[in-house]
Chains A and B, each alone.
Chain A
Amino acid sequence: MLNWLSIDVVLLVITIWLGIGVAGVIALRQFGFVARVLFPLGGMCCLALAWAALQMIGSTPETAVLPLGLPQLPFHLRLDSLAAFFLLVIGAVGAGISIFAAGYFRKGAGTPPGLLCLEYHVFLASMVLVILADDAYAFMVAWETMALSSFFLVTANHKLPEVQEAGFLYLLIAHVGAIGILLCFGVLQANSGDYTFANMRIQSLSPFWASTAFILALFGFGAKAGMLPLHVWLPEAHPAAPSPVSALMSGIMLKTAIYGLLRISFDLLHVNVWWWGGLLLALGLATALFGVVFATVQTDMKRLLAYSSIENIGLLLAGIGLALIFHAYNMSALTALALTAVLYHVVSHAFFKSLLFLGTGAVLHATGERNLGRLGGLIRYMPWVAWLMLIGVFASSGLPPFSGFVSEWLLLQSFLFTPGLPDSFLNMFIPIVAAVIALVAALAGYAMVKFFGVIFLGQPREEKLKEAHDAGLWEKIGMLWLAAWCIALGLFPNFLIRLIDSVTVSLVGAGLGRHTTESSWLFLAPSSIERASFAPLLFLLGVTIGCLVAFALVRILYHGRLRRTPPWDCGHPWQTARMQDTAEGFGQPIRQIFEPFFRMKRHLPTPMDRNPSYKVEVGDHFWHWLYLPIARLIEFLAGLVGRLQQGRISIYLLYSFLTLLFMLFLVQR
């Protein structure tokens, strides 16, 4: 690497990815080559990307102009700290997913492996390009490429009708959102006709137009992120996609929307009105609560994770909202704290959610089941997957000392720091939001215990599960990589926070770094140790020493005798796996407590039924009250348009004639 700029390395990585994609198409059905050579190569490129991004964070932005695109309209690219940070996430998480994918894709029905390889790497490249883009044109091209390539990946099993439906819904909402983003850029360039971000930065918009741009961006990026009420595609698309693709989409692609929102609200827009933050905060909280409540009642493991992603996106949006509120009052240190929490959660969620999705992929391959009601007891047949998933589950539930807890802790801290705001109403309101976030986090724990307990613990609910095999070597390595980061980010938060620091300094001119370096690498203390501190390593040591001393003392003072017997059957004559709680049973208390959230259809057996069956369907109010009416309206309008089309040439000629007359009339006047 002789005097290469980081941005050159990034562009090289993109080129190699595209090359890999082309090689995949050439070797369309040579499964071994595609899986064992191309995917690992793509993973290596991810690592190179992460390395280049790591070098870049905190240094001066690099720019490049690609001679691609339309005449007079080249692609402007720029790599600054914020972009580099998100590239780091893509690289580090993508590496694990690519390695896993090397062992995951199997021969069989659906898209041939070579084509999948192309779509997969184009998807990765387009996400990187979204983050690099420095003008609206390049951004939209990359954004649409990302949507299309992921659409083809989602519909890899395109023969199944539900996959087709999921793909259609995804594509539809992705494009509705893209319109919002496009309009937002239109507002941002303020009639100057120059669509580069550099130009947008220097424009000063009136508060009205700035707010319009913000709302449009919120709509557009919210649709991609899964913000309420634009979330409906997520729980459909994630289960339909192959697991590494779900991991990419949930772990990384959703974060590009967060990136876009941050880029627009902190970099391109200068006017800051506090109600932007308030709106985002309210929407974020609603999204988080909605997502987690729905996650607890799901019976499909990938849908459960999809709803959990909605929850996490909600938390991120709430954090950004808080940061915007602080920003509006020019409290840069607090803005930095809230942003740090957001960015930390971006990384942490990317790792643990990818890990969990990959784990469901391994379970799906081993058992062929996605339905929680037909799984169980897999910890005995798939110990590797189970224990690695347990790490992801802990991180996802926000339990110390894993990565999820650090971001939750930072987020709660930033909410508790509010009493300096000049607005007394906000002062009063925001710590209560912290209480709601605590509720969301606790519910996430419920959902995750259900997820892990029903899949991996207990007795197998089906006979065939006993033949389940553990994941292969590639899959293990991929999951191990992600799990290791879930632990490392939980134990050594200050290293990442120092990186985030450069990002927040470049965005809002302040960071936590000074405090973290002052208070040694062991303690995470946003302002001072007396104010608040958390030392994950000491925490872990404390628990571990407690465990080990207890273990040693018990063994020394008493004995280690152990007898294995059948479990206690409470005096019943027999005990079967069907007596365990089902996934529905585990979610039942939540269904009862949060009943107004759900649209439930119950089917209860009558006493006369020969084969009594009990069924409950949990639906989404938004679908019935928002989407179906819109769909009906569009169908109605389309029907009206249809009346114009009579299918006879003479009628169409009449239309042309009438239009012509009308035009002439206009011209005459």
Chain B
Amino acid sequence: MSISGFLSQLLAIVMALFLAPLLMGWVNQWRCWLQNRSGPGVLQPYRMLHKLFHKESVVAEHASSLFRMAPYIVFGCMVLACAIIPTLSTDLPLSPAADAIALVGLFAVARVFISLAAMDIGTAFGTLGARREMLIGFLAEPALLSVLFTASLISNSTALTSIVEYLAHKEFAIYPSLAFAGIAFTMVSFAENARVPVDNPATHLELTMIHEALILEYSGRHLALIEWASALKLFAYSCMGLALFFPWGIAEAEAPLALIFAIPALVFKLAIGGFLLALIETLSAKMRIFRVPEFLASAFLLAVIGMLVHFLLGA
């Protein structure tokens, strides 16, 4: 492992940890502005995390240790996810540990743990949330995998770094297969990150909530970890999307100095991406829960069409 590789790996993790809440704050702030509200400011997630860490945790009396372990495991999974996605550089020593398929597996581990933890207390909301989360998961996961398959068929590799390097070096052309994959990926990201057409992060209405129902029993530091983990997940998905579809400005092993330019490039791309996310969220209405499978099934089909198009056109 080279020193520069180690450094870029460390930088990627640290940056993800501290930039992820900022991205969350940025999206929420834009949502407020677009809805003619003044908003709490982009730093609000940090304040909230700080507050939650200070509070004591209230745990149901019959909760098992699974319930208390889950936030840490979910957090650990998301940190690893951010570490293997090429955010700043493709020179990541941890990247061979998990390729695209294992990354999807990693998200699945986190989802299964949080769902099991939600079922652990045995309240109506917890199990309801778990059921809905798994419902979204089982459709979103194959769709996400198919998107990654399209990219890996193009680049002949499932290693994320190889995919990104290949896509960054190809001559500039619009790949029709990637266009389909991109739409599918956007749809999946909305579902996986509990954003508006699928779930509303700001609601506690039992008919509609998914993610909030899952974590209803969590408080204090556990809740803080989960919130931070979901910020990390949003960050990971955004970076994955940027790396797959707009892979410019990511540093490579041969050019460690490019890291200096990679950070502003990433921040710039994330800022635009966050704004677009808030815009789409503001423009769309929340779906009924049983429209969600249709939504995700179309994402799945689009991703599969992306693969087909790749074989038909060879691009």
Decide yes or no whether B134 CB sits under 8 A from chain A: yes
Interface hits, A49-99 → B, CB 8 Å: none
B271-294 residues with Cβ-Cβ distance < 8 A to A are: 290, 293
Report the minimum CB–CB distance from A92 to chain B (whole Å): 25
- Is there contact, CB below 8 Å, between A589 and B120? no
B157, B216, B293, most chain A CB atoms within 10 A: B157
A288-B53 Cα distance, complex, nearest whole Å: 45
**Residue in A405, A535, A570 whose CB lies within 8 Å of B105:** A405
The residue from B56, B94, B108, B216 contacting A445, defined by CB atoms under 8 A apart: B108
Q: Which residues of A contact B56 (CB under 8 A)?
A: 559, 561-563
A545 within 8 A of B: yes
Nearest residue, chain A, Cβ from B152: A416
Chain A residue numbers with a CB within 8 Å of B126 are 458, 580
A310 CB–B CB distance under 8 Å: no
Is the CB–CB distance between B58 and A563 below 8 Å? yes
Task: Please tell me if the beta carbons of B64 and A380 are within 8 angstroms of each other in the complex.
Answer: yes
Are B96 and A523 in contact (CB-based, < 8 A)? yes
Cβ of B159: which chain A residues have Cβ within 8 Å of it? 529-533
Report yes or no: A567 in contact with B217, Cβ–Cβ below 8 A.
Answer: yes
**Does A435 contact B53, Cβ atoms closer than 8 Å?**
no
Binary contact readout B114-134 vs A (1 if CB under 8 angstroms, 0 otherwise): 011001111111111011101
User: Nearest residue in B to A458 (C-beta to C-beta)?
Assistant: B122
A431 at the interface (CB under 8 A from B): yes
The B28-74 residues at the A interface (CB cut-off 8 A) are 53-54, 56-64, 66, 72-73
Residues of B292-307 whose CB lies within 8 A of A: 293, 300, 303-304, 307
Q: Which one, A448, A457, A530, A558, contacts B221 given CB within 8 A?
A: A558
Q: CB distance B105 to A531 under 8 Å?
A: no
CB–CB B131/A550 < 8 A = no
Max count, chain A CB within 10 A of own CB: residue among B54, B120, B127? B127
Say whether A432 faces chain B, with CB atoms less than 8 Å apart.
yes
Binary interface profile of A, 558-585, with partner B (CB < 8 Å = 1, else 0)? 1101111111111000010101110001
Size band of the interface chain A makes with B: 35 or more
5 other contacts beyond A441-B141, A442-B142, with CB at 8 A cut-off? A379-B66, A538-B94, A543-B73, A568-B216, A589-B135
A666 CA to B131 CA in the complex, in Å? 72
B: residues with CB less than 8 A from A are 53-54, 56-64, 66, 72-73, 75-80, 83, 94, 96-99, 101-102, 104-106, 108-109, 111-112, 115-116, 119-128, 130-132, 134-135, 137-139, 141-142, 145-146, 149, 152-153, 156-159, 162, 216-217, 220-221, 225, 290, 293, 300, 303-304, 307-308, 311-312
Verify if A592 is at the interface (C-beta below 8 Å from B). Answer: yes
Whether the Cβ atoms of B60 and A586 lie closer than 8 Å is no
A550 touches B141 (CB 8 A): no
Q: How far is the CA of A19 from the CA of B26 in the complex (A)?
A: 74
What distance in Å separates the Cβ of A531 from its nearest Cβ neighbour in chain B?
Answer: 5
B contact residues around A597 at 8 Å (CB): none
Contacts of B105 in A (CB 8 A): 398-400, 405, 409
Instruction: List residues of chain A with CB within 8 A of the CB of B115.
Output: 449, 453
Return 12 A-B CB contacts under 8 Å, by A number.
Answer: A379-B64, A390-B66, A427-B311, A441-B141, A457-B66, A530-B162, A532-B99, A535-B97, A543-B73, A554-B221, A566-B61, A580-B126
**Residues on the B chain within 8 Å of A424, using CB:** 311
The docked-state distance in angstroms from the alpha carbon of A441 to that of B107 is: 14
Q: Which residues of A contact B53 (CB under 8 A)?
A: 554, 557-558
Partner of B108, one of A397, A432, A539, A561: A397
Query: What residues of chain A lie closer than 8 Å to B308, measured between beta carbons?
Result: 428, 432
* A580:B123 contact, CB within 8 angstroms: yes
Contact B134 A409 (CB under 8 A): no
Q: A380-B64, A445-B137, A562-B56 are in contact. Are A431 and B122 (CB under 8 A)?
A: no
Against B, the Cβ 8 Å flags (1 = close, 0 = not) of A525-551 are: 100011111110011001111110011
Q: A445-B138, A547-B75 are in contact. Are A435 and B127 (CB under 8 A)?
A: no
Residue ranges of A at the interface with B (Cβ–Cβ < 8 Å): 376-377, 379-380, 390, 394, 397-400, 405, 408-409, 412-413, 416, 419, 424, 427-428, 431-432, 434-436, 438-439, 441-443, 445-446, 448-450, 452-454, 457-459, 523, 525, 529-535, 538-539, 542-547, 550-551, 554, 557-559, 561-570, 575, 577, 579-581, 585-586, 588-590, 592-593
Measured between beta carbons, the chain A residues less than 8 angstroms from B132 are 589
Q: How far is the CB of B70 from chain A (nearest CB, A)?
A: 10
B contact residues around A377 at 8 Å (CB)? 62, 122
Q: Is the interface of A mostly helix, strand, loop or mixed?
A: helix
Which residues of B have CB within 8 Å of A579?
123-124
Give the chain A neighbours of B307 by CB distance below 8 A. 431-432, 435
How long is the Cα–Cα vector from A69 to B248 in the complex, in angstroms?
A: 73
Q: Name the distance in Å between A495's Cβ and chain B's nearest Cβ.
A: 18
**Is A577 in contact with B122, judged by CB distance below 8 angstroms?**
yes
Instruction: Quote the shortest CB–CB distance from A385 to chain B (angstroms).
Output: 13
Given known contacts A531-B157, A546-B77, A435 and B59 CB-to-CB distance under 8 angstroms:
no
B99 touches A457 (CB 8 A): no
Choice from B104, B153, B162 contacting A431 with Cβ under 8 Å? B153
Contact B108 A399 (CB under 8 A): yes
- List, in ascending order, chain B residues with CB within 8 A of A566's CB: 60-61
Q: Which residues of A contact B123 (CB under 8 A)?
A: 567-570, 575, 579-580
Decide if A593 touches B293 in the complex (CB within 8 Å).
yes
Shortest distance between the CB of B152 and any CB in chain A (Å): 6
The answer on a CB contact under 8 Å between A428 and B112 is no
Partner of B293, one of A435, A562, A565, A589: A589
Cross-interface CB contact of B130 among A405, A449, A531, cutoff 8 Å: A449
Are B59 and A563 within 8 A (Cβ)? yes
Q: A546 is contacted by which of B75, B112, B139 (Cβ under 8 Å)?
A: B75
Q: A435-B304, A550-B225 in contact; A416/B158 too (CB < 8 A)?
A: yes
